[in-house]
Amino acid sequence: MTNPLYDALFGRHADAETPFLILPDGAIWTHRAFVARAAQFAHALVQNGVDPGDRVAVQVAKSADALALYAGCVQAGAVFLPLNTAYTGTELGYFVENSGARVFVCDPKNADILTPMADAAGAQLLTLSAEATGRLADLAADQSPEFDTVARTEDDLAALLYTSGTTGRSKGAMLGQRNLLSNAQTLTELWRFTSDDVLLHALPIFHTHGLFVATNITLLAGGAMILLPKFDTDTMIAHLPRATAMMGVPTFYTRLLDAPAFTRDLTAHMRVFISGSAPLLASTHDAFEARTGHRILERYGMTETNMNTSNPYEGLRIAGTVGPPLPDVELKVTDPATGDTLPEGEIGQIEVRGPNVFMGYWQMPEKTAEELRADGFFITGDLGLIDTQGYVQIVGRNKDLIISGGYNIYPKEIEQVLDAQPGVVESAVIGVPDADFGERVLAVVVADGRLDVEALNAVCVDRLARFKHPREIVLVDALPRNTMGKVQKNVLREIYTKS
């Protein structure tokens, strides 16, 4: 029986007494202990009716157990569906229902409030806290540390990650074993990860970056991770001496640069700093090199495709570029109107093809067909060019998307909430530059006399995760429109970027 993803990432470490997770309190989980805990979770899931192919939706705090639950899902042949811990009940209801999850795991402190939602969606609710308490933790503790791994092939679904759409509801990106495994193999080699590596891990584990890029690569290499619950500048600085590598979104790097204690001496022993999920300003890249002597290695990816391009480990890392396509990824720049490939240096939409590209959107064949061409090329929605050296530069987006601190925010979703409120005639949500988050959310609202801005903020709290909330609401008489009647967001961005 084989299960390629399980065998490569987890199974082969079953007897290894080497450290895998180093926790903030100094506790260490060996690879063996981690694999054993994963098996206990696999048993607990099966006892709760999880069959191969079933979705297991998980909204829990970052912890060693949360990662072991991911591994347990892979071992049981289930489909892991991680959810942002900031999501509200309304948001969660959609994901659990849409995915048809068999089990929904949440923090014990949210159980009462989320039980009706899980019941309505037909999902079994289990609980797990960062302190290894909760019904799932208790159940797992009683299980055998060995589990007969469920056979899977590389074509089987391993994870479902929801990404919002520019129109309508979120789409579940179906990631198969091949997608995850091939990308982890390519990146491990490209970035020279080995069993000697210790990755400083402060990213959330409900997204591609923290879960697949960081964790899968470390596991494949047989290395270790210092698993921090979240990013905190002082904590990062305290743990850096023990690390060899770090991965982060650009906000991590700008925050570290703001700290005088982040010095050349502190980072001299580090092997590599990797950035992605949002554009790294060339000025940040330069300031980082001036401070530490390290050139940040920037790469480019997305939920649907895992990683697509990377600056080289050896060779020129060029600020403002995301490097050449990965060895097993084809990348072309096309004319958005015709789909024709554009010559080198011309700006167009970025399309990618390779074993990293997802299997389509969960139960959305039309959406899948719109973005994933029959020939396998995925239309990323990013705009860019390929320069004379073969490096890709991302110059913008062909999709109405804000990236704040590495989180994707779809204006449409916020506009729909705002527009439904009394007193709102219409709204336009845009991203404006922000020194900390790269971009922040600003809502431009046309109101009639009845608008109560406090009530507007309150409905956002109820309906939307905190990171999506408009940081500023500006009231205007009318929105700028082009001759076709379409709101000109570029004009709004220009106005509110200047002021």
Asked if residues 117 and 92 have their Cβ atoms less than 8 Å apart, the reply is yes
Asked if residues 134 and 126 have their Cβ atoms less than 8 Å apart, the reply is yes
Q: Outline where DSSP puts E strands in 256-410.
A: 272-275, 297-302, 306-310, 330-334, 348-353, 378-386, 392-397, 402-404, 407-409
Partner from ligand MLC, ligand AMP, none contacting 251, C-beta within 5 to 8 A by type: ligand MLC
Size of the site for ligand AMP (CB under 6 A): 18
Partner from ligand AMP, ligand MLC, none contacting 203, C-beta within 5 to 8 A by type: ligand MLC
Comparing CB distances to ligand AMP, the nearer of 226 and 296 is 296
Asked if residues 315 and 192 have their Cβ atoms less than 8 Å apart, the reply is no
- Backbone dihedral region of 174: left (phi > 0), alpha (psi from -120 to 50 degrees) or beta? beta
Over its C-alpha atoms, the chain yields an Rg (Å, rounded) of: 23
CB of 350 to ligand MLC, least distance (A): 13
CB of 295 to ligand AMP, least distance (A): 14
Separation of CA 426 from chain center:
31
Q: Draw the binding track, 300-319, toward ligand AMP (x: CB under 6 A; -: no contact).
A: xxxx----------------
Non-local (6+) Cβ contacts of 137 within 8 A are: 65, 127, 128, 129
Residues 254-283 touching ligand AMP, rule: CB under 6 A, are: 276-279
SS3 370: helix
CB of 12 to ligand AMP, least distance (A): 28
For the CA atoms of 143, 12, 360, 303, what is the dihedral angle to 10 degrees?
90
Selection from 159, 145, 169 nearest residue 39 by Cα: 145
Partner from ligand AMP, ligand MLC, none contacting 438, C-beta within 5 to 8 A by type: none
Residues 380-439 touching ligand AMP, rule: CB under 6 A, are: 380, 382, 394, 397, 403, 408
Q: Which residue is nearest to ligand AMP (CB)?
A: 302
CB of 346 to ligand AMP, least distance (A): 19
* Binding site residues, ligand MLC, CB under 6 A: 203-204, 207-210, 230-231, 249, 251, 276-277, 301-303, 404-407, 437, 466-467
Place of tokens 């050896």: 314
CB of 7 to ligand AMP, least distance (A): 27
Q: Draw the binding track, 147-176, toward ligand AMP (x: CB under 6 A; -: no contact).
A: ----------------x-------------
Contacts with ligand AMP by CB under 6 A lie at 163, 208, 276-279, 298, 300-303, 322, 380, 382, 394, 397, 403, 408
